[in-house]
């Protein structure tokens, strides 16, 4: 536990302290309770305000909804530590990947779509925050239509939780806060690494002043002079259906969705081989004019015929990594905007013609320079991946520790001789 402060916490052994039968046993001194019996629900402090109302009340005090801060206004109704848990929405189904709770300490406001939990004589607000951060709440939810669920106050009150004495709650909270601090610091490192990579891409790929080489080394060529279309049908019966992920690139639907969501007949799909590119003409967050990704993770796969696929022309000397970065940096966005106007959008799908696409202009340096730039960007990319892997490791380790200390399977205790009251 290298992340623990040097004076505070030790993980102990809960062996011999189990006492409950028929359900998960708890250590001596712990009890099983419900939110309604042990927590302070302070929904009377909520303040429903429309976006229009908030627009005329701008100020320094946060205004929270169930999943985060919505605004800041000029006065506050809450001035204490509190936790929030959503009252309605579709986020309840994503409890494994998204937090169900939020914690804040200080002057703030909350809308009427979240329940407010304050400290009580039996339960700290932050204990509640950690206990229900990734809890599956579906047993007590009510339906509000397709994909919409509601956690009523009565449902909230029914939720069970394990409660140690307040002193032990504080010790466990301090332990988990050290992990939160490490995760937040790593998130900042990752954000900084991404900004640095984006700055490098902007300077190097556009040949701006300060980058090497300068813009004079870039020449303008048609996309069709470097690439040719891939339109081969799936005659070999390949069933590795691919989808485009912003972070993972072209990835199998079985991995991304845990199942294939494509049609059973894949004969009309386009067969893509390793190193070839696919352009998804659907616009999404971060990709206002669609995303272009190469197939790197598999030898082959198939994509919907809605994707526009292409590969390097035979005999063209070009660096694949350079063009991977080039497309990822959105270097074609302005060009695509010129051939796919706003009015041509149809249910999120850009109307981009094949001939128009291959007629787009690329501004690229010679292949020797491409390799130099790709090497610099690959190094920045590897640093980003390393930090992202470190962040994921911290999150996994924290989840594992939460599962142990929030249930009493492992104990956290303050060493009286090492800590001040």
3-state helix, strand, coil in the chain (%, to 5): 35, 25, 40
Q: Check if the beta carbon of residue 276 is closer than 8 Å to that of residue 268.
A: no
- Helix 367-405 and helix 320-328: axis angle, to 10°? 60
Per-residue pLDDT, 17: 43
Q: Please report, for the chain, the start and end positions of each structural domain, with discontinuous segments joined by +.
A: 1-26+165-213+367-421, 31-163, 219-364
Same fold, 1-26+165-213+367-421 and 219-364: no
Give the pLDDT confidence of 338-368 residue by residue, as tens digits: 988 654 445 578 889 999 999 999 999 999 9
Per-residue pLDDT, 368: 95
What is the pTM assigned to this prediction?
0.80
Give the pLDDT confidence of 371-414 residue by residue, as tens digits: 999 999 999 999 999 999 999 999 999 999 999 999 999 988 75
Sequence-ordered list of residues with C-beta below 8 angstroms from that of 87, at least 6 positions apart, any chain: 66, 112, 113, 114, 115, 150, 151, 152
Per-residue pLDDT, 420: 45
Domain 31-163: give its CATH architecture: Alpha-Beta Complex (3.90)
Per-residue pLDDT, 371: 96
Sequence-ordered list of residues with C-beta below 8 angstroms from that of 32, at least 6 positions apart, any chain: 20, 23, 26, 160, 161, 162, 163
Name residues of the chain where pLDDT drops below 70. Answer: 1-24, 146-147, 208-216, 258-263, 341-347, 414-421
CATH 1.10.3720.10 fits 1-26+165-213+367-421, yes or no: no
Q: Hey, what CATH class is 219-364 in?
A: alpha beta
């Amino acid at each position: 536990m290298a992340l623990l402060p040097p004076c505070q916490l030790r993980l102990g052994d809960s062996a011999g302290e189990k006492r409950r039968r028929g359900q998960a046993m708890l250590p001596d001194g712990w009890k099983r309770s419900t939110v309604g019996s042990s927590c302070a629900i302070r929904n009377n402090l909520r303040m429903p305000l429309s976006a229009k109302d908030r627009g005329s009340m701008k100020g320094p005090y946060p205004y929270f909804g169930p999943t985060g801060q919505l605004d800041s206004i000029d006065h506050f109704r809450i001035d204490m530590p509190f936790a929030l848990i959503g009252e309605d929405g579709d986020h309840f189904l994503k409890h494994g990947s998204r937090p169900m709770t939020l914690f804040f300490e200080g002057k703030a406001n909350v809308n009427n779509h979240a329940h407010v939990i304050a400290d009580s004589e039996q339960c700290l607000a932050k204990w509640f925050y950690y206990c229900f951060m990734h809890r599956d709440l579906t047993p007590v939810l009510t339906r509000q239509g397709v994909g919409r669920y509601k956690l009523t106050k009565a449902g909230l009150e029914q939720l069970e939780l394990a409660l140690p004495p307040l002193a032990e709650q504080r010790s466990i909270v301090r332990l988990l806060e050290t992990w939160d601090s490490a995760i937040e610091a790593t998130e900042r490192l990752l954000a900084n690494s991404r900004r640095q990579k984006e700055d490098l891409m902007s300077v190097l790929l556009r040949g701006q002043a300060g980058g090497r080489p300068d813009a004079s080394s870039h020449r303008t060529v048609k996309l069709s002079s470097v690439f040719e279309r891939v339109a081969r049908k799936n005659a070999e019966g390949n069933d590795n259906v691919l989808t485009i992920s912003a972070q993972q690139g072209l990835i199998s639907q079985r991995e991304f969705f845990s199942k294939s969501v494509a049609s059973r007949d894949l004969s009309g799909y386009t067969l893509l081989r390793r190193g070839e590119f696919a352009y998804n003409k659907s616009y999404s967050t971060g990709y206002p004019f669609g995303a272009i990704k190469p197939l790197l993770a598999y030898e082959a796969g198939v994509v919907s015929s809605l994707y526009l696929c292409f590969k390097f022309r035979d005999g063209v000397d070009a660096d694949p990594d350079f063009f991977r970065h080039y497309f990822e940096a959105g270097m074609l966005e302005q060009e695509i905007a010129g051939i796919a106007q706003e009015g041509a959008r149809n249910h999120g799908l850009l109307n981009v013609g094949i001939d128009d696409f291959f007629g787009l202009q690329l501004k690229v340096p010679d292949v020797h320079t491409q390799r130099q730039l790709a090497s610099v960007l690959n190094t920045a990319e590897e640093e980003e991946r390393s930090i992202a892997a470190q962040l994921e490791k911290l999150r996994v380790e924290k989840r594992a520790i939460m599962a142990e200390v929030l249930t009493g399977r492992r104990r956290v205790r303050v060493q009286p001789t090492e800590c001040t009251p």
